[in-house]
């Protein structure tokens, strides 16, 4: 009886270890170099201008977000992310620190190519939290965060491995 219980515990441990090993590994999050830091500063200024309701700010935001993608087929979803972000932030009080964090999140959402589903979800949650902290309604913040996921599907180059399909 005791050997049967031990064998059962070993089987449980093997199954649990195998299931944990099938988790999708995290991809590389791009670290911004000097050029990218300048692009993030531009995005931050665009976001501050959007919050101030500058008439040119939404199109400047879209241009600057789009600049980080070489995939022309991703432009429509990137433009939609920019539009939703601009609509959400228009007229909101936005600190420079929050604008910088939002800019960093937008930059990563377009520049990252190998993010796992878990990393994309974390990025969406960060964006959602930042938007809600500025006074954006929950539902609108959710729409922006959802669009970030669409952007990642369009720009991502990571293919799922066979063991991730189990």
Q: Per-residue pLDDT tens for 11-64?
A: 454 444 444 444 455 655 667 778 889 999 999 999 999 999 999 999 999 999
- pLDDT above 70 covers what percent of the chain? 77
> Average of pLDDT values for 97-112?
95
> Is the model more confident about 4 or about 6?
4
Do 24 and 116 contact (CB within 8 A), yes or no? yes
Per-domain residue ranges of the chain: 34-155
Q: Please, what is the average pLDDT of the chain?
A: 84
Mean pLDDT across 118-138: 96
- Indicate whether 1 pLDDT > 80: no
């Amino acid at each position: 009886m005791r050997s049967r219980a031990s064998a059962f515990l070993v089987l449980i441990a093997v199954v649990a270890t195998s299931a944990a090993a099938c988790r999708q590994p995290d991809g590389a999050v791009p670290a911004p170099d000097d050029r990218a830091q300048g692009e993030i500063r531009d995005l931050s200024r665009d976001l501050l201008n959007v919050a101030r309701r500058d008439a040119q700010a939404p199109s400047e935001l879209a241009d600057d977000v789009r600049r980080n993608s070489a995939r022309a087929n991703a432009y429509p979803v990137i433009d939609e992310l920019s539009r939703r972000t601009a609509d959400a932030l228009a007229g909101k009080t936005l600190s420079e620190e929050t604008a910088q964090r939002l800019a960093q999140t937008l930059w990563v959402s377009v520049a990252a190519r190998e993010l796992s589903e878990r990393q994309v979800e974390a990025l969406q949650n960060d964006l959602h939290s930042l938007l809600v902290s500025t006074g954006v309604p929950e539902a609108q913040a959710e729409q922006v965060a959802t669009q970030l996921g669409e952007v990642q599907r369009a720009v991502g180059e990571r293919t799922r491995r066979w063991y991730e399909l189990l």
